[in-house]
Chain A
Amino acid sequence: MTATSAPPVPRASGASPSGAAGRPRPRGRLAEVRASMPRAAWAVVCSALAVLVLYPLGVLVVRALTGPDGSVGLANFARLAASTGGISLLTGLGNSVFVSLTVTAVTVVVSTLAGYAFARMPFPGSTVVFFVVLVTFMIPFQAIITPLFLTLIQVGLHDSLVGLALVLATFNLPFGIFLMRNSFAAIPATLEDAALLDGCTPLQAARRVMLPLAVPGLVSTALLTFFAAWNDFFATLILINDQAKYTLPVSLNILAAGQNNAVDWGLMQAGVAVTVVPCVIIYLLLQKYYVAGLINGAIK
């Protein structure tokens, strides 16, 4: 805001000198008025947009809680649990939880190990290997889904939730390794050296000194992976055939198809709510880590 800090720019001819020299008071008051007006307008515009953004979610909650007889309550959820729509919500929920937690655990452990090696224990060729990992990041998994399907048949993991979890973990690995490598690289090397001088083995130093400092990166990796696994539709649609093994997003497909040519919208929106609400809660609780992970992964 200080006029003195501005370097002289020859191109700005007319307005600049008069404004800088005089600094007339009326202009300041005008600025105050102009500043408060937009503040009110800003609040109105932002609130209107917030209403637009939240409107679909509001409708979702209302419809999910409106039973078939018009009463408000958990009737739709009870019907879902009792397989009214041709699929049990509880099975879908269990499958989703199993797949998402397995994917998250595998991704976090494997990418922490690899990230640590790339950041702290380089070996001949590690630069090349890391580059290959980054390249796989750029190849869409949709493009290799057909041979992946055949590979799973070969290794006996066809139509299996474990197979699906391993595949989803692999898709999330490049991003996880990238995040964890950055987390470990950001820790000063002197900390590890000090631990080694104190008699720690390199792995003890890694576990007791370095790992605790990389927890924010670890949480970011876990969150991004969990969301990706929980919300996956394409891979599950193709790799899982048995309806009893469907995760929530794919289960919705059955509810949307309806029975006897009639879609039970209350039932379906209750299913959407079960799929959506855990993500919203986790996001609101751990927003800081989620956002940090996205920005670190995307921009660094």
Chain B
Amino acid sequence: MTAPVVDRAGSALRQPSARRADRRAGAVQGRRRLTGVLLVLPALLLLGTFFLYPLARTVVMSTFTWPLLGNRAFIGLGNYLEAFGDQAFLSAIGFTLVYTLVVTPVLLAVGLVLAGLVQRRTRAARIFQTVYFLPVVIGLASASYLFLFLWQPVIGPTTNLLAGLGVLDVTTNLFGDAVGAFVVVLLLVVWKTAGLQMLLLLSGFQSIPQEVNEAAAVDGATGWQRFVHVTLPLLRPTLALVLVFSVAGSLLAFDQFYILTAGGPDNSTITAVYQIFRSSFIQLDLGYGAALSLLLMLVLGLVSAGQLLLLRNSDHS
């Protein structure tokens, strides 16, 4: 993702230096560079104040016991050592990983099916694209409050619908047990984000030259064979991207669990970000929260690196 960008910017840098023929051009060039610096300045000011400085501070804070009120003390790697023995944190990590491992393939499969369905260049297909993408623009929090209502026992419309079909009892409270709550969250996330996966995969499909598929068809490949042996390999960069989107999104899950389950029942649906939130803003142990944040960042960094590696490999093949 970054490599071509850097190359282009690099060549743009070299170009002007060749033009330094006379002094006037040099002065113009100098003023142009100064303008460039000035134009970037507001962005750097914001990113510095609200991103890089807090980031550096996270690192420092993670080596302190840092209660919101009261005395702080340097404890080195103490917070990290505590984290590795903290049952609540470890089970939050475990739950987040399970959640990610379940959500990712489901989202990918649904996204692929939707993309395959709306791939045609007809008016009807475009309308279906618009419909399937619609939930993506709705906030995850609003969608969660909507699903909270849909699945309420006794009064929830979906609960009533399924009870009418004989699937479950109308008094069933899915939020009351870990598996039921997980299923509702899964349905919510699929409803809310499969459209995004569809869109990205669709643009991946469209970047595959038509001739390749036609050639395979002429050679007698069935639809499924063409999909597995032609489409999927050529789709690899897009697949890597889509996977990272859903993996990163799942590892950072918070809103849906905060709203739908409040981490319950019995703290069984506490995610990593939720645990950081609880450490920092409920137990008010900011240093410990910072250490957990850095551990989470490390995991996400590894995922991003994995993505870049996947993308790079596909460039060479």
Which residues from chain A sit less than 8 Å from chain B, CB to CB? 1, 3, 5-7, 9, 12, 14-16, 19-20, 42-43, 45-46, 49-50, 53-54, 56-57, 59-60, 63, 106, 109-111, 113-114, 116-124, 126-127, 129-134, 136, 138-148, 150-151, 155, 166-167, 169-171, 173-174, 177, 185, 202-203, 227, 230-234, 237-238, 248-250, 252-253, 255-256, 265, 268-269, 271-272, 275-276, 279-280, 282-284, 287, 290-291, 294-295, 298-299
Complex Cα distance A14/B12, Å?
Answer: 54
A136-B51 in contact (CB<8A): yes
Contact-residue bracket for chain B? 35 or more
Q: Is B300 an interface residue (CB 8 A)?
A: yes
B214-A122 in contact (CB<8A): no
Q: Which residues of A contact B296 (CB under 8 A)?
A: 140, 142-143
B51-A127 in contact (CB<8A): no
Measured CB to CB, the closest approach of chain B to A291, in angstroms, equals 6
Q: Is B196 an interface residue (CB 8 A)?
A: yes
B9-A130 in contact (CB<8A): yes
Flag the segment in B32-40, B75-83, B164-172, B174-182 that touches A. Answer: B32-40
Q: Which residue of A has the minimal Cβ distance to B118? A: A46
Complex Cα distance A174/B124, Å?
Answer: 36
A227-B137 in contact (CB<8A): yes
A147-B203 in contact (CB<8A): no
Q: Which residues of B contact A54 (CB under 8 A)?
A: 131, 134
Q: Which residues of B contact A1 (CB under 8 A)?
A: 214
Q: Which residue of A has the minimal Cβ distance to B61? A: A147
Measured CB to CB, the closest approach of chain A to B1, in angstroms, equals 8
Complex Cα distance A255/B281, Å?
Answer: 22
Measured CB to CB, the closest approach of chain B to A274, in angstroms, equals 9
Q: Which residues of A contact B10 (CB under 8 A)?
A: 127
Which residues of B from 249 to 304 have beta carbons under 8 Å from A? Answer: 252, 254-255, 258-259, 273, 276-277, 280-281, 286, 289-290, 293-294, 296-297, 300-301, 304
A124-B134 in contact (CB<8A): no
Q: Is B42 an interface residue (CB 8 A)?
A: yes
B55-A252 in contact (CB<8A): no
B9-A127 in contact (CB<8A): yes
A144-B293 in contact (CB<8A): yes
Complex Cα distance A123/B58, Å?
Answer: 31
Would you list 29 pairs from A and B whose C-beta atoms are within 8 A, ordered by A residue?
A: A1-B214, A9-B219, A12-B221, A49-B128, A54-B131, A56-B147, A113-B43, A114-B39, A121-B39, A123-B40, A130-B5, A140-B297, A143-B297, A144-B57, A146-B61, A146-B293, A150-B57, A170-B51, A231-B141, A233-B140, A233-B141, A269-B145, A276-B138, A276-B139, A279-B138, A284-B130, A295-B199, A298-B241, A299-B241
Measured CB to CB, the closest approach of chain B to A228, in angstroms, equals 9
Complex Cα distance A7/B215, Å?
Answer: 7
Mostly helix, strand, loop or mixed at chain B's interface?
helix
Q: Which residues of A contact B35 (CB under 8 A)?
A: 117, 121, 202-203
Which residues from chain B sit less than 8 Å from chain A, CB to CB? 1-2, 5-6, 8-10, 12-13, 16, 31-37, 39-40, 42-44, 46-47, 49-55, 57-58, 61, 114, 117-118, 124-125, 128, 130-135, 137-143, 145-150, 152, 155, 157-158, 191, 195-196, 199-200, 203-204, 211, 214-215, 218-221, 238, 241, 245, 248, 252, 254-255, 258-259, 273, 276-277, 280-281, 286, 289-290, 293-294, 296-297, 300-301, 304
A170-B46 in contact (CB<8A): yes
Q: Which residues of A contact B289 (CB under 8 A)?
A: 146
Residue from A14, A19, A170, A255 with most neighbouring chain B CB atoms (10 Å) = A170
A6-B218 in contact (CB<8A): yes
B218-A122 in contact (CB<8A): no
B150-A56 in contact (CB<8A): yes
Given contacts A113-B39, A122-B9, A146-B286, contact A59 B157 (CB under 8 A): yes
Q: Which residue of B has the minimal Cβ distance to A111? A: B43
